[in-house]
């Protein structure tokens, strides 16, 4: 075991085998025994003695090494000791709008919602043993419930920086009584741009607080926090600061982007529970849908989903209901899931350390794991450089043949566009007729058989034409022939010259002329609107391109033609002038 004390490295051995030997109070050790946690992890052995004693600690350990219990037991031990002797936090302090509540005695800052919820779940049963409570505040959940929790009073506040600042600005969170402040995953905070928020929060805490800072790496940004907010910190580090990449099998596959979805589905089916990392939120949602269409039970996880959706997705993958967890880098650190058999870099990581933390989701606790990277042709060179830097040996493979999913997983956007093109090509939406260039809709059934009413009208018009011919043979003038209900005849009647109209009118004075006029003009039954639309309109529709029905010009012409005539007596459109025949 290696201990870091300031800048001095000390080699030491220890025989500590229980939490009680580390200074943890009896109620907490009894609770750990009931939870079947008997032996401390390495980071817990290194940090608990100094942390329980009240010293500032800088702990270096990777995710999943037991850091949560390391600082959690330190915080609860301090609260238990303070509760026995009396603490300044036991006094009630006023909140917003006159509400009464306890300001938090301990503050734990977390970079992600999932990690904050995980910390809260682990510490809640231990806190109940010493009559203390834990509250987690973060975005994605109802603000009112979190405000009510702060009003009732809280001992251990687990928070994400953004939501905590909102509560502080509104006057609901008071950090003036914080005795112990913890910053977990400090390097992750720096990567996500949270360090300015962290500094604003720590500036609101008392200067004499105890500060515990845990991080996997100690770059310049993390050093700023150490130099500004810690007093003579004791540095403790486990032997393995990063996941051991040598315990994993690494594969690098050159593949086209169109082939990645079905290839991921094949690997998940072959290897088992898999975490698939995608660069963007939209890409996560799209790939999850593609995998589901391929028969793979996949859930998606990214910062754009609500907290309840993220919790359900993580729970579904953790209990084995889902085969794949498709996520952005939000799942690269701070989330611990046992039994992950494979990690797929669907999109290559932006940095080398992202590859390390992504890959660390598998091969945990001595188990085996496989790490697969999908590479385009222009990404091979950078991948080889990364392998050399990390000392990773992996073969560069070509795209394998499909094994389980013979049908390709089609991109959703392309699938939708293909369907729309197929509809327009096959004419599914043109069953009611297609539009002509002038905007009118022409019926596809132009060769349909006429209705029974139309046939009767044509028969009557034909008999009237016969009478007109007989009248013309006897030397009497008659009007033009008319074929009622037919498009060609109605057009010819509408186009008849004024001379023909006058002849037709004058011929109506005689008996035969009356019959001719009634056969050619009065015998025509007015078209209904539905019939006009079916017929596609009259001459005006032909000339101007209007759709079916009578237009204004035709209505005026027809009105003038029938001016002075009585209205039809019955449905057969028999005019009253026909009575003159019987009278004569």
Q: Is 184 or 192 the better-scoring residue by pLDDT?
A: 184
Among the listed ranges 117-121, 142-146, 327-331, 474-478, which one has the minimum average pLDDT value?
A: 474-478
Note the pLDDT tens digit of each residue in 358-372. 888 888 766 789 999
> pLDDT at residue 502 above 70?
no
Structural domain includes residue 156: yes
| Residues 75, 130 within the same domain | yes
Assigned domain for 386 exists? yes
**35 or 504, greater pLDDT:** 35
What is the chain's mean pLDDT, rounded? 74
225 and 146 within one domain: yes
- Please check whether residues 332 and 407 belong to one and the same domain: yes
pLDDT at residue number 539: 45
Q: Going by C-beta distance under 8 Å and a sequence separation of 6 or more, which residues neighbour residue 277?
A: 327, 328, 329, 331, 332, 343, 344, 345, 346, 347, 349, 358
Is 283 exposed, middle or buried (CB count within 10 Å of its CB: 0-12, 13-18, 19+)?
Answer: middle
Q: What is the pLDDT of residue 404?
A: 78
Domain range holding 189? 2-86+98-237
Q: What is the pLDDT of residue 396?
A: 87
For range 305-309, the mean pLDDT: 82
Q: What was the pLDDT predicted at 3?
A: 41
pLDDT at 577 over 80: no
Q: Are residues 162 and 202 in the same domain?
A: yes
Residue pair 405/266 in contact by the 8 Å Cβ criterion: yes
Q: What pLDDT, on a 0 to 100 scale, did the predictor assign at position 8?
A: 36
pLDDT score of 327? 92
Q: How many CB atoms lie within 10 A of CB 408?
A: 13
Kindly state whether residues 180 and 151 are assigned to the same domain: yes
Which of the listed residues 203, 237, 271 is the one where a domain comes to its end?
237
Q: Tell me whether residue 567 is in a domain.
A: no
Q: How far apart are CA 467 and CA 460, in angstroms?
A: 11
Query: What percent of the chain is predicted at pLDDT more than 70?
Result: 60
Residues 207, 263 within the same domain: no
- Domain shared by 287 and 329, yes or no: yes
Q: Is residue 533 part of a domain?
A: no
Query: Does residue 557 fall inside a structural domain?
Result: no
- CATH code (residue 297): 3.40.50.300
- The H or E element spanning position 330 is none
Tell me, yes or no, whether 233 and 264 share the same domain: no
> Which of 206, 237, 268 is where one domain is finished?
237
Asked if residue 224 is part of any domain, the answer here is yes
327 with 214, same domain: the answer is no
Question: What does the pLDDT look like over 537-568, one tens digit per residue?
Answer: 444 444 444 444 444 445 554 444 555 556 55
Res. 398: pLDDT tops 70: yes
* Structure tokens, 568: 């039809």
End of a domain among 191, 213, 237? 237
Domain count for the chain, please give it.
2
| Its pTM surpasses 0.85 | no
Pairing of β 369-375 and β 248-254: parallel
93-97, 397-401, 458-462: least confident range? 93-97
Residue 248 to residues 239, 255, 523, Cα–Cα distance (Å)? 19, 22, 96
* Residues contacting 387, CB < 8 A, separation 6+: 250, 252, 393, 394
Q: Would the pLDDT of 505 be above 50? A: no
Q: Please, which pLDDT band fits residue 75 given cuts at 50, 70 and 90?
A: very high
Whole-number pLDDT of residue 134 = 96
Would you say residue 281 lies in a domain?
A: yes
Distance in angstroms (rounded) separating the CA atoms of residues 331 and 343: 11
pLDDT tens digits, 434-480: 444 444 444 444 444 444 555 555 555 555 555 555 444 444 444 44
What string of DSSP letters covers 29-67?
Answer: HHHHHHTT--S--HHHHHHHHHHHTT--EEEE--TTSSH
Q: Kindly state whether residues 267 and 337 are assigned to the same domain.
A: yes
Question: 330 and 373: one domain?
Answer: yes
Domain for residue 295, yes or no? yes
Indicate if 223 and 313 belong to the same structural domain: no
């Amino acid at each position: 075991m290696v201990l870091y004390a300031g800048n001095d490295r000390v080699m030491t051995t220890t025989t500590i085998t229980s939490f009680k030997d580390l200074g943890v109070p009896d109620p907490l050790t009894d609770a750990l025994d009931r939870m079947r946690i008997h032996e401390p992890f390495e980071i817990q052995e290194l940090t608990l003695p100094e942390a329980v004693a009240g010293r500032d600690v800088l702990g270096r350990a990777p995710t999943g090494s037991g850091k949560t219990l390391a600082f959690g037991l330190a915080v609860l031990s301090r609260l238990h000791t303070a509760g026995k002797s009396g603490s300044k936090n036991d006094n009630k302090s006023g909140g917003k709008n006159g509400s009464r509540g306890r300001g938090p005695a301990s503050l734990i800052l977390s970079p992600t919602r999932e990690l904050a919820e995980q910390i809260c779940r682990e510490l809640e049963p231990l806190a109940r043993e010493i009559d203390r409570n834990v509250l987690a505040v973060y975005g994605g959940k109802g603000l009112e419930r979190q405000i009510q929790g702060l009003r009732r009073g809280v001992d251990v506040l687990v928070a994400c920086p953004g939501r905590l600042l909102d509560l502080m600005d509104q006057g609901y969170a008071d950090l003036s009584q914080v005795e112990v402040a913890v910053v977990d995953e400090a390097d992750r905070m720096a990567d996500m741009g949270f360090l300015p928020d962290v500094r604003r929060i720590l500036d609101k805490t008392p200067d004499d607080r105890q500060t515990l800072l845990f991080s996997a790496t100690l770059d310049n940004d993390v050093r700023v926090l150490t130099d500004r907010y810690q007093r003579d910190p004791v540095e403790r580090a486990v032997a393995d600061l990063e996941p051991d990449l040598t315990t994993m099998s690494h594969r690098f596959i050159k593949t086209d982007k169109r082939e990645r979805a079905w290839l991921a589905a094949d690997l998940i089916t072959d290897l088992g529970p898999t975490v698939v990392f995608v660069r963007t939120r939209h890409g996560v949602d799209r790939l999850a849908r593609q995998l589901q269409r391929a028969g793979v039970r996949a859930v998606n996880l990214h910062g754009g989903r609500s907290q309840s959706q993220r919790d359900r997705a993580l729970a579904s993958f953790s209990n084995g209901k889902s085969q794949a967890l498709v996520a952005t880098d939000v799942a690269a650190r701070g989330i611990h899931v046992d039994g992950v058999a494979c990690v797929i870099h669907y999109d290559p990581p932006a940095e080398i350390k992202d590859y390390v933390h992504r890959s660390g989701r598998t091969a945990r606790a001595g188990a085996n794991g496989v790490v697969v990277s999908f590479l385009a042709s222009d990404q091979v060179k950078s991948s080889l450089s990364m392998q050399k830097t990390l000392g990773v040996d992996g073969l560069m493979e070509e795209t394998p043949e499909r094994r389980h999913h013979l049908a390709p997983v089609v991109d959703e956007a392309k699938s939708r566009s293909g369907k729309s093109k197929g509809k327009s090509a096959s004419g599914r939406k043109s069953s009611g007729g297609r539009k002509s260039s002038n905007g009118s809709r022409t019926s596809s059934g132009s060769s349909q058989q006429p209705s029974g009413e139309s046939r009767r009208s044509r028969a009557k018009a034909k008999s009237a034409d016969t009478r007109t011919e007989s009248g013309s043979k006897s030397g009497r003038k008659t009007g033009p022939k008319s074929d009622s209900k037919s498009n060609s005849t109605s057009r010819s009647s509408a186009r008849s010259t004024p001379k023909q109209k006058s002849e037709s009118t004058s011929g109506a004075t005689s008996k035969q002329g009356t019959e001719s006029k009634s056969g050619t003009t009065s015998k025509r039954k007015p078209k209904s609107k539905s019939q006009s639309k079916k017929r596609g309109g009259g001459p005006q529709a032909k000339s101007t391109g209007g759709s079916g029905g009578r237009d204004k010009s035709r209505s005026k012409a027809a009105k003038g033609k029938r001016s002075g005539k009585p209205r039809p007596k019955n449905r057969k459109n028999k005019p009253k002038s026909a009575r003159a025949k019987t009278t004569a």
